[in-house]
Chains A and B, each alone.
Chain A
Amino acid sequence: MTTRLFGQRVPRVEDQRFLRGRGRYVDDVLVGPGTLHAAVLRSPHAHARILDIDVSEVLDLDGVHAVWTYDDLDGVMADPLPLLIPHPALTHGRTQFALARDEVNHVGEAIAFVVAEDRYVAEDAVDRIRVGYELLPPVVGIEAARAATHLVHDDVPGNVGARMEQHNGDAPAAIAAAPHTLSLDLTIERSSCQPMEGRGVVSRWDPDTSRLTVWTSTQTSTGVRGCVAARLGLDLAQVDVITPDVGGGFGVKINHPWPEELLVPMAARALGRPVKFTEDRREHFISSAHERGQVHHVEVGFDDDGRVLGLDVTFWHDHGAYTPYGLIVPIITATQLLGPYKPGAYRVRFESLFTNTVMVTPYRGAGRPQGCFVMERTIDAIAAELGLDRAAVRATNFIQPDEFPYDHGLVFQDGRELEYDSGDYPASLDKLKALIGWDDFPALKAQAAAEGRRIGIGLACYVEGTGVGPYEGAHVHVETSGKVKVAIGLTTQGQGHATVFAQIVADELGVPLEDVEVVSGDTRKMPYAVGTFASRAAVMSGSAVQLAARAVREKALRIAAEALEADVADLEIVDGLVQVRGTDAALALGTVAVLSNPLRYAFDEASKAATQFAVGDPGRPPVAEDDEPGLEARDFYSPQRATFASGMHAVIVETDPDTAEIRIVRYAVVHDCGRIINPMIVEGQIHGGVAQGVGGALYERMAYDDSGQLLNASFMDFLMPYVTEVPDTIEIDHLETPSPLNRLGIKGAGEAGVIPVSAAIAAAIEDAEGLVITAMPISPSELHALRQSKETP
């Protein structure tokens, strides 16, 4: 009997290639002579008018093939890049040009594009381009953007790209009538994804077939394909986009098209040679996307038990110089801020502001870490005000297990109702308190204090809408060898899709895991797809894979029943064999695949069995009217709305009384992503998320100076956690509250780990220090300064 693989800690199949150095990342494609290499001239100024560009010395250089500036772009290539997700509230959305036209709006904006024999020569050529600039005053940071003394874009008054409000009930009235009220001002700084592999694009134009192939390190191959075809004036059928192995994404690679994703294919076609662009680390810092920067003001009214009667949040979101990804990040902040709680009334208003800094698109968590920080700081403040236990105030405000589906009366990021499908927050809290030893902590703290040590505990809760639509698909094909080939349309960047989707297919089809091969992000194999974001792959592609595999199973059983002269109900598929239960009668799935495809010509021994004198009823068409040849199926999954995963983190920190160093002593996670396909992979996602969260809480920030220069644009200065900065152990407990929205009962797991970390660590530092923490990240210097200001107010 075959063991069900769903839910098992199945080792990853993709590791075999990666561990041997046989991964194929975008810079590994088309290695060798013949491929040309691109480099980009980027603005050294945060805000300037371009007066003239002199490229006359570039083409003198040996090995340089071509240079493009804005004036060399034809047709729609000269239009601004698409605004991918328009929204009625985004009244002043702006996007950049593939190459800057007459103005640059952040350090790093692309101005000229050079193609040469190798990257070294291309960079030499970039150095020879002379640009005349008229410097304009830069707008850096939310304060400057709000003051609007200077404008980023002349035609955007007040630097405001969007104003938006949502509400459920009358929050100001509820606050006015509440027995207790508080006001809070809270800040989260900028950070960024920083995948170990930056962006990269390779393209080859085939003049023999008039087809373009693009390899790109993206989170959406179909999205890039649409953009490339539209901008280069090609039919969609002429463009193939292949996503090779991707060295991490974390959100930054969902934005598209990056200028290079259009310029590289354009150059490949123009020059008749393959062209490659590989972003270097400094370029990633100054020309890819950032996130997180927001300032919040909270008004809250509550009763004697800490029950939130009215919550009124106003925030300012720094979206940088351009808005290609619309309002997704601030809308997620505005809605997911509520977490597992049900305030009596809620109002949220935000302004999305332009600054002369790198643009903002989603980074793992996508606006949720900020919202979670704001909500959890507010709950902690309520508990402090009333002298109540922080966990108890949370429990008082939870949506209860019998209240699902729970409609918040708001509109979520996908344009649909913010309606939670399932969850059990009280159970999660109980598990977390047990895991971290919440109730025993006061004694521990007193004991530490007696030893002259400062320790503190904090917790934070989140809810994450995962698996948003519109849809994903899967194609499942059984070859005549019995091997199963699966194609999904979204891309993969380390989440183990090749393993978890193979688990689902192996279970459905009754085949060994090693016979299933999953390909992702290749538009030749699955041209209809959306992309990998919003923790959606398991929910969306997982469901589609199950549907397609089930259709294949039904067809296999139908064909086998006919061949074995048995009833479908008596058949089972075990280890790749379709057999009549309790008998020796069986057919290999590969043989069923042979029989599914009536042949005129035999191409091997197996296929002889399907030729015209071997099979079929001469009285009927070889392929029935409602059937197709082949043992394969394609199906799509499109849910009505997102499914809502949840979780809670608790952390114990120790702060050094002298140096203000902050050390994580223990870190505990309770995580509910519905049914788990592979616990090993889910735990890996949590580990990685927590590490990124620790980076965001204690180390990572984008240090812009007033002139808009990013001062820490390297791994030397932008402090990403090494092993020495992450918790020694991350203790994890799972809760599985199935989603009613998909047959597998699953919810997304990719982003969750990062969401509550800043909130939990801030609470723990506050507890250790007896200081109010209102801004994250926090460094030892900042903690020291807080101590000083408390001592000398």
Chain B
Amino acid sequence: MTGRPAAVRHDITLRVNGAPHTISVEPRRLLSDALRHDCGLTGTHVGCEHGVCGACTVLVDGSPARSCLMLAVASEDVEITTVEGLAGADDSLSPVQQAFSDCHGLQCGFCTPGFLTTITAGLRDNPDPTREEAQEMIAGNLCRCTGYQNIVAAVLRAAELRDGRP
């Protein structure tokens, strides 16, 4: 085997939480790695790198997406929202974030960003979920600490808190 040819890099601009980030990446770079290591937005966490755990979930044009299953170079023409983009402009917690605090919906906090983004989108689509719908909303995300009891409670609490809000 000979030496690998010099890696091709692409200059791309990601729009994350409303701000542009111009970075230079290899074609193979995962969006999760680009967000964390190139944009410095380390709130998005990587738990499995095969799309099962949901910790790396971000919002792509408002819809939940596993950033470990996306390439950075393919993420240029979308609006990306990470956990850092959920709080209000005055740094106040969003209804979903506040609900997690109220309900003890997190312990180690590692899976939390993926739950927060998932539920933020979920409540936008279904603002008044039943308990069963709340469970379904988070059924694609793994948490090893909480046993999910308080996360389900947080979904329902967030629905109350955001009542009437977009």
Contact = CB atoms under 8 A, between A and B. Distances in A.
Interface of A: 11-12, 14-25, 27-28, 31-32, 57, 60-63, 118-121, 124, 128, 193-197, 245-248, 250, 280-281, 493-496, 680-681, 683-684, 687-692, 714-716, 720, 722-724, 726, 728-730, 753
B107 A715 contact: no
A295 to B, nearest CB: 27
A15 B101 contact: yes
B165 to A, nearest CB: 17
Given A19-B97, A20-B91, A691 B1 contact: no
Contact of A19 (B49, B101, B110): B101
Chain A to chain B: the 9 pairs with minimum beta-carbon distance, closest first: A21-B43, A247-B110, A494-B108, A18-B109, A691-B147, A687-B147, A494-B107, A21-B83, A28-B42
B28 to A, nearest CB: 6
B52 interface: yes
Interface string B26-45: 10110001001100111111
A61 B4 contact: yes
22 contacts: A21-B113, A27-B36, A27-B46, A57-B1, A120-B29, A121-B7, A196-B111, A196-B143, A197-B47, A197-B110, A247-B47, A687-B148, A687-B149, A689-B147, A691-B147, A692-B144, A715-B47, A720-B142, A720-B144, A722-B148, A726-B147, A726-B149
Contacts of A681: 104
B6 interface: yes
B78 interface: no
A27 B47 CA distance: 11
Contacts of A118: 37
A247 B45 contact: yes
Q: Which of A281, A495, A688, A716 gathers the greatest number of chain B CB atoms within 10 Å?
A: A688
B60 to A, nearest CB: 17
A724 to B, nearest CB: 5
Nearest to B26: A120
B57 interface: no
Between A20, A121, A194, the greatest number of chain B beta carbons within 10 A of the residue's beta carbon is seen for A20
B45 A197 contact: yes
A20 B83 contact: yes
B95 to A, nearest CB: 12
Most buried by B among A23, A25, A62, A124: A23
Nearest to B108: A494
Interface in B71-120: 82-84, 86-87, 91, 93, 97, 100-102, 104, 106-113, 116
A19 B109 CA distance: 8
Given A20-B43, A194-B144, A281 B49 contact: yes
Given A715-B52, A723-B138, A62 B3 contact: yes
Contacts of B22: none
Nearest to B87: A20
A247 B29 CA distance: 24
A94 B53 CA distance: 35
**In the complex, which range does the number of interface residues on chain B fall in?**
35 or more
Contacts of A729: 149
B129 to A, nearest CB: 13
A22 B139 CA distance: 25
A16 B147 contact: no
Given A12-B104, A124-B4, A684-B107, A23 B43 contact: yes
Contacts of A63: 7
A247 B109 contact: yes
B49 to A, nearest CB: 6
Interface in B1-34: 1-4, 6-7, 26, 28-29, 33
Interface string B126-166: 00000100010011111111111111100000000000000
Given A27-B36, A62-B6, A715 B28 contact: no
B147 A722 contact: no
Given A27-B42, A32-B40, A248 B139 contact: no
B88 to A, nearest CB: 11
A691 B111 CA distance: 15
A191 to B, nearest CB: 12
B102 A11 contact: yes
Contacts of B106: 15, 18-19, 494
Given A28-B42, A688-B107, A716-B50, A12 B142 contact: no
B118 to A, nearest CB: 12
A716 B86 CA distance: 29
User: Which residue, of B52, B83, B108, has the highest number of chain A Cβ atoms within 10 A?
Assistant: B108
B65 interface: no
Given A246-B108, A493-B108, 5 more contacts: A19-B109, A31-B40, A32-B40, A121-B7, A723-B151
Contacts of B49: 280-281
Contact of B142 (A25, A715, A753): A715
A250 B147 CA distance: 14
Contact of B148 (A27, A28, A246, A723): A723
A28 B49 CA distance: 16
A339 B75 CA distance: 56
Given A18-B106, A20-B87, A688 B142 contact: no
A120 B52 contact: no
A121 B49 CA distance: 17
A245 B37 CA distance: 18
Contacts of A683: 104
Nearest to A127: B1
B3 A60 contact: yes
A62 B7 CA distance: 9
Contact of A196 (B50, B93, B110, B150): B110
A691 B151 CA distance: 13
Nearest to B143: A196
A246 B84 CA distance: 19
A723 B43 contact: no
A14 B110 CA distance: 12
A32 B6 CA distance: 21
Contacts of A17: 109
B55 interface: yes
A724 B138 CA distance: 9
A19 B116 contact: yes
A690 B28 CA distance: 40
A716 to B, nearest CB: 5
Given A20-B43, A21-B82, A722 B110 contact: no
B144 A688 contact: yes
A724 B152 CA distance: 11
A220 B150 CA distance: 28
A714 B104 contact: no
A28 B110 CA distance: 12
Contacts of A14: 109
Contacts of B26: 120
A12 B146 CA distance: 14
B55 A196 contact: yes
Contacts of B143: 196
A325 to B, nearest CB: 21
Nearest to B84: A21
B109 A245 contact: yes
A187 B157 CA distance: 42
Nearest to B30: A120
B50 A197 contact: no
B50 A281 contact: yes
Given A15-B101, A248-B108, A714-B50, A21 B148 contact: no
B109 A715 contact: no
Contact of A722 (B43, B83, B139, B145): B139
Nearest to B107: A494
Contacts of A193: 144
Contacts of A23: 43, 109-110
Nearest to A753: B147
Given A19-B100, A20-B87, A21-B44, A196 B108 contact: yes
B25 to A, nearest CB: 10
Given A15-B106, A20-B87, A196 B146 contact: no
A196 B47 contact: yes
Contacts of A16: 93, 101
